[in-house]
């Protein structure tokens, strides 16, 4: 079974620094989670209450402390500007697998930042002993599908009506990557 690091790691790439998410990052995430376009393919619609985002982030910080997940805040190395967040969740050490997630602010799309960050996350996952990553996208989330394909994920099927979002059942696509 793989070891759990005492502290979730800081990862650095050519242009980015990924730091474990902290409660104080909720204020940075709020504008992203309040943006209907960023949240168009998320399991819940955009949130208009900063306290709800603070609750989400504190749940993530707790999951991280329990070793079930690692959530990172992504910042530009050059000026420290906040770009977004990404994660490994549902970490199953016995099965050596986890799920990936990512969300960038709209002004950071189209620059290859998500690809750069997620390459580092996948490399960290492999180095820490994980052997399989999965991801789930809502049907039509072209940018996410394209990112996952660039990372080497393959489509593993359709999850019909998998998500109930604001009264609407949505189909999802399952992606997988063996490390
Ligand atoms: C999914 C998401 C993170 C993808 O972001 P992204 O910026 O499109 O992804 P990438 O990092 O792969 O960047 C790809 C784009 O950057 C461009 N690019 C520019 N410079 C680049 C570089 N140095 N390297 C690679 N690509 C570069 C590519 O050409 C491509 O542009 P295109 O989409 O116009 O063809 C973003 O759309 C998002 O946050 N969406 C909302 C949240 C969401 O749905 N999350 C996923 C839920 S499953």
Residue 138 domain-assigned? no
pLDDT reported for residue 46: 98
Query: Is residue 101 within 8 Å of residue 89, measured between CB atoms?
Result: yes
Residue 1 domain-assigned? no
Q: How far is the CA of 5 from the centre of ligand 1 (A)?
A: 29
Q: Which ligand 1 atom sits closest to the C-alpha of 141?
A: 44
Q: What is the DSSP string of 105-159?
A: -GGGTTSSHHHHHHHHHHHHHHHTT--EEEEEEETT-HHHHHHHHHTT-EEEEEE
How many domains does one find in the chain?
Answer: 1
Rounded average pLDDT over 95-123: 98
Residue-averaged pLDDT of the chain: 96
Ligand 1 site, CB within 6 A: 38, 41, 102-104, 109-115, 137, 141, 143-144, 147, 150
Q: How confident is the model at residue 8 (pLDDT cuts 50, 70, 90)?
A: confident
Residue 170 domain-assigned? no
pLDDT reported for residue 7: 77
Residues 28-64: tens digit of each pLDDT: 999 999 999 999 999 999 999 999 999 999 999 999 9
Q: CATH code at 74?
A: 3.40.630.30
Q: How confident is the model at residue 4 (pLDDT cuts 50, 70, 90)?
A: low
Residue 26 domain-assigned? yes
Q: What domain range is 85 assigned to?
A: 11-128
How far is it, in rounded angstroms, from Cα 3 to Cα 93? 8
Q: Which ligand 1 atom sits closest to the C-alpha of 104?
A: 39
- pLDDT above 90 covers a percentage of the chain that reads 96
Can you read off the two tokens belonging to residue 169? 């059942």
| Residue whose CB lies within 8 A of the most ligand 1 atoms, among 16, 100, 104, for a mutation test | 104
How far is it, in rounded angstroms, from Cα 121 to Cα 115? 10
DSSP H helices in 15-112: 26-33, 50-65
Rounded average pLDDT over 149-176: 98
| Residue whose CB lies within 8 A of the most ligand 1 atoms, among 33, 90, 114, for a mutation test | 114
Residue 111 domain-assigned? yes
Residue 163 domain-assigned? no
Residue 158 domain-assigned? no
Residue 6 DSSP label: S
Residue 29 domain-assigned? yes
pLDDT reported for residue 97: 98
Q: What is the pTM of this model?
A: 0.96
């Amino acid at each position: 079974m793989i070891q759990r690091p005492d502290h979730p790691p800081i990862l650095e790439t050519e242009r980015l620094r990924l730091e474990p998410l902290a409660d104080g990052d909720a204020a940075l995430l709020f504008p992203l989670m309040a943006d209907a376009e960023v949240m168009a393919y998320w399991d819940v619609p955009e949130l208009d209450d900063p306290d709800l985002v603070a609750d989400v982030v504190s749940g993530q910080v707790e999951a991280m402390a329990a070793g079930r997940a690692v959530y990172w805040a992504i910042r530009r190395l050059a000026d420290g500007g906040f770009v977004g967040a990404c994660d490994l969740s549902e970490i199953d050490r016995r099965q050596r697998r986890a799920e990936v997630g990512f969300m960038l602010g709209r002004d950071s799309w189209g620059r290859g930042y998500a690809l750069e960050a997620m390459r580092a996350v996948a490399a960290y996952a492999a180095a820490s002993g994980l052997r399989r990553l999965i991801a789930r996208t809502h049907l039509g989330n072209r940018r996410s599908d394209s990112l996952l394909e660039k990372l080497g994920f393959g489509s593993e099927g359709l999850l019909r009506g998998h998500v109930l979002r604001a009264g609407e059942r949505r189909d999802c696509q399952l992606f997988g990557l063996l490390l």
